[in-house]
Structure 1
Amino acid sequence: MFRAPAAAFAAALLFPAAVFANDGFGGLSATGLHFAQTDAIAMESEDLFISPDRIRVTYTFRNRTDADVTGEVIFPLPPISLQYLQTSDFNLPEDRENLVNFTATVDGQPVPVTIDRIAVIEPPWVEDRPPAEQYDTPGRDVTAALARHGIPLTLDVAALTDTLNALPAETRAALQAEGLAEFYAGDPAQGMPPETWPLWSIILRYHWTQTFPAGQTLTIAHDYENRPPGGLFYWQHPATEDWATGYAARYCIDDRTSRGIAKRLAPAQGMGVAYSLAYVLRTANSWAGPIGDFRLTLDKGAEENIISLCAEGVEKTGPTTFEIRKRNYSPDRDLDILIVTPLPQ
C-alpha cells in the first residue's frame, strides 16, 4: 500500500489552490546572520533587501569593548525534507555545493565561507509552525549515523534512492530500525511497486570565523538566491472562506488590498500565482542591544504584482519597491510577505 509520510504533504497545504494536483511548490524561509548571544557586538545598522528571487543584507557592527572579539558567524538554511522532494515540486536548483549561491564580504572584501551539510530528523509537521522554529529546533542530528552507513548527504533524491536500494538487506534493516528510512516491498501482483523513503532532512550551514576589532566598526554583507514556496492562488472579494480569512490575518490583507488582488486576478476567474516569502528577523536580537538604523526594501518584482504584509510605516519608493525605516529597532515578530502575480497570458 502506498504510504507517503505525513511531512510530504506539507506543500499541498501552502496554498488554497492546491486542490488542483501538483499546483503548489515548496521553498525556503530566510534568516539573517547568527552569532552567539553577545553583549559585546552591537548592530549599528541593517540594510535588508528582499525580492522574490534575491536577498541582500548589509550590516554595520561595532565592538563596544576594548578587546577583540572572535567567533563564528553563521548563516543557516532551514531543513530541506527529502520526503518533500520526493513527492512535491520544490523551488530549488539541481543539487550543488553552494545551493543558493551565498556570498559574503567583510569591509568590501570577499571572505571564504565554509559550507556544512547536516542531516536531521525533523519534529512532526505542524500546520503554521513559525519559520523561526526551523532554526531554533530543527530536529535530531543523524549526520553521524548516516556517515556510519556510508550514505551521502545529497539532495538528489533519485540518486539517493538508488543508493539505498543497493544497500545490503541488513543495512536497510538497520536504517529502518534507527528510524532513518522506510522500505516497502510492494505487491507486483497488485501493480504496487517497491517504495523507499529517506526520513531525514538536510540543513546547509554557511559560516566563517570572524574577529571584531576592539572599539571599531565592521561592515558585513551577504547575498543569496531567494527560493520561496508558492503555487496557484485563488482569490475573491470579499474573502469569507476560512482559508481566505486566515490568509488575510497572516498577511494583513486589508479591504483595499483584497479588492486589488481580486481585480488583478479577475481576467483568469480569480486565479493567479502567489509566493510566500518568510524572513526571520528575530535573529538580530542575539546581538547587543537594538538595531540602531534598520532599513527594509521590498521589491514585488513587477508592477502588476500585489504585495501584502503586516508592518507599519511602509512607503512606496518606486514602481515595484517599498521601504520601511526604523530606529533603535528590536524585532518582536518575523516577516511574512505575500506576493500575488497574475497568470501569464
Structure 2
Amino acid sequence: MVRIALTFGLALAAVPALANDSTAELGAGGLILSRNDAVSMDSEDLFISPDKVTVDYVFRNTSDKDVNTIVAFPLPEIEASPYEMPSIPEEGSENFLGFEVTVDGVAVKPELEQKAFAVGVDVSEELKAQSVPLYPYGKTALAALAKLPQQVADDWLARGIIVLDQYDDGSGWKSVRSPYWQLRSTFWWRAAFPAGKPVHVSHRYKPSVGATAGLTFFNDGKFQGEYDNYKRRYCLDDALEAAVRKAQKANTGSTQLYESRIAYILTTGGNWATGSIGRFKLTVDKLDARSLVSFCGTGVKKTGPTTFEMTAEDFVPERDIDILLLNRPENESGN
C-alpha cells in the first residue's frame, strides 16, 4: 500500500484539542455474507463524504446453479457510556445510520437483529423484561432505567450493565443510572443470485463522523500527541505536515483547524468468491475546498475542487479506509 496524503486548500491555526470537545466516529462498511465460492463481486463503486456513503455493487453467480443466501449489513457497535459520546447521525432511531438498500433498482426492506451485551454476556432479554430499550442513548433509555426496582438496579450495577453517572449541574448533586452495555445491530435479507447473471445492489447511509475541536496531533508548533498513530492510520505525509506548519505560522489567534474523521470497513469485501473485487473505485469528497484531507491509497487522483478518486483491478481489500479531514470554521475565508 502506497502512503498518500492529499493537501488541497489552505488551512489556518492549529490548537490542542480538549477531550470534552470530541465525539468518536463509528466504523461502518459494506455488505457481508459467509464465505461464498459461487458469488463474486465484479465491481464496487464506493463514494464517501461527511454527508453520505453510497456503494454500488455488481455481483455475479459464477456457477451453473441459482444461489439463495443471506446478505447482511452490520451497523457499527455502540458502546454506551456517559463519559464518551459517539457520533450518531439519527439519534434515537434503531436505524441510526439511515441505512437503505435496493436490489436491481427495487427497494428492499431488511430485517433488523439487535442484541445487547455487558461484559460479553447477552443481556437483551433482561433489558426487554424491564421495558428498557436496547438502543442506549436518549431520554427513553434513561427514563426506563430510572424506574428500575432498586434490587434490579443493584444487580445491573454489579454486573456492569449500567453505571451511576454522578455530577453537579448547578442545582445540586445528581446520581443517574446510565447505560453501559454494548449494542450490536445487523440488517439482513434473503438474496437470490441467478446462475450466470449479474445482480446490481446499491446501499447508502449517513456516516458517523467523529470530530475534535482543534488537533490531537499538533501542539506548540510540534507534531506530538496522537501524531504517530495518525501517521499510520491516515498516512500523513510531508505535504500535509508543511500545510499544517504554514497554517500555524499564519495564525492570528482567531482561527483554528478542527478534525473530522470517517471510518469505512472495507476488508469484508474479501468474503466473496475470489477474495478480491474485480473493479474497485473509491471517490472521497471533502465537500469544502478549504479543507485538508488525508487517507491511505494507491494512485489517488484529484478529480475536482473537493473530490479524489482511486481505481484498481482485482483489488484485494487488505485494510480498512480511514479518512482525516482538517476543516476551518465556516466564517473563515479561504485566503
Show the counterpart of 1:146.
127
Question: What is the TM-score of this pair, normalised by structure 1?
Answer: 0.81
Aligned-residue Cα RMSD (Å) equals 2.6
| Matched positions, count | 310
Distance in 2 (alpha carbons) for counterparts of 1:282 and 1:185 = 40
Q: Does 1:292 align with 2:278?
A: yes
Q: Report matched runs for 1:35-74 at 5 Å.
A: 35-74=33-72
Q: Report matched runs for 1:38-117 at 5 Å.
A: 38-84=36-82, 87-88=84-85, 90-117=87-114
Distance in 1 (alpha carbons) for counterparts of 2:266 and 2:39 = 17
- Distance 1:330-1:259 versus aligned 2 partners, 3 A rule: same
Instruction: After superposing the two structures, state which structure 1 stretch, 52-61 or 91-100, moved more.
Output: 91-100
Q: Give CA-to-partner distance per residue, 1:151-197, whole Å, 9 cap, x none.
A: 2223444332221121212222332344322358999xxx6432313
Query: Unaligned stretches of 5+ in structure 2?
Result: 1-13
Distance in 2 (alpha carbons) for counterparts of 1:72 and 1:41 = 12
The amino acid that maps onto 2:132 is: I
Of the three residues 253, 262, 265, the one matched with 2:236 is 253
The amino acid that maps onto 1:44 is: D
CA contact (8 A) 1:17 1:231 kept: no
Distance in 1 (alpha carbons) for counterparts of 2:25 and 2:291 = 19
Instruction: After superposing the two structures, state which structure 1 stretch, 21-30 or 58-67, moved more.
Output: 21-30
- Distance 1:268-1:215 versus aligned 2 partners, 3 A rule: farther
CA contact (8 A) 1:51 1:299 kept: yes
Query: Unaligned stretches of 5+ in structure 1?
Result: 1-14, 123-138
The amino acid that maps onto 2:305 is: P
- Distance 1:41-1:156 versus aligned 2 partners, 3 A rule: same
Of the three residues 257, 264, 268, the one matched with 1:279 is 264
Q: Measure how far apart 1:259 and its partner are.
A: 1.5
- Distance 1:54-1:264 versus aligned 2 partners, 3 A rule: farther
Show the counterpart of 1:169.
150
Distance in 1 (alpha carbons) for counterparts of 2:123 and 2:49 = 34
Distance in 1 (alpha carbons) for counterparts of 2:206 and 2:301 = 25
Distance in 2 (alpha carbons) for counterparts of 1:261 and 1:149 = 52
Show the counterpart of 1:214.
195
Q: Measure how far apart 1:240 and its partner are.
A: 3.5
Secondary structure at the counterpart of residue 193 of structure 1: strand
Distance in 2 (alpha carbons) for counterparts of 1:158 and 1:267 = 41
CA contact (8 A) 1:16 1:243 kept: no
Show the counterpart of 2:301.
315
Question: What is the TM-score of this pair, normalised by structure 2?
Answer: 0.84
Show the counterpart of 1:17.
16
Instruction: After superposing the two structures, state which structure 1 stretch, 271-280 or 229-238, moved more.
Output: 229-238
Of the three residues 26, 29, 32, the one matched with 2:27 is 29
Distance in 2 (alpha carbons) for counterparts of 1:237 and 1:219 = 51
- Distance 1:239-1:184 versus aligned 2 partners, 3 A rule: closer
Bigger helix share: 1
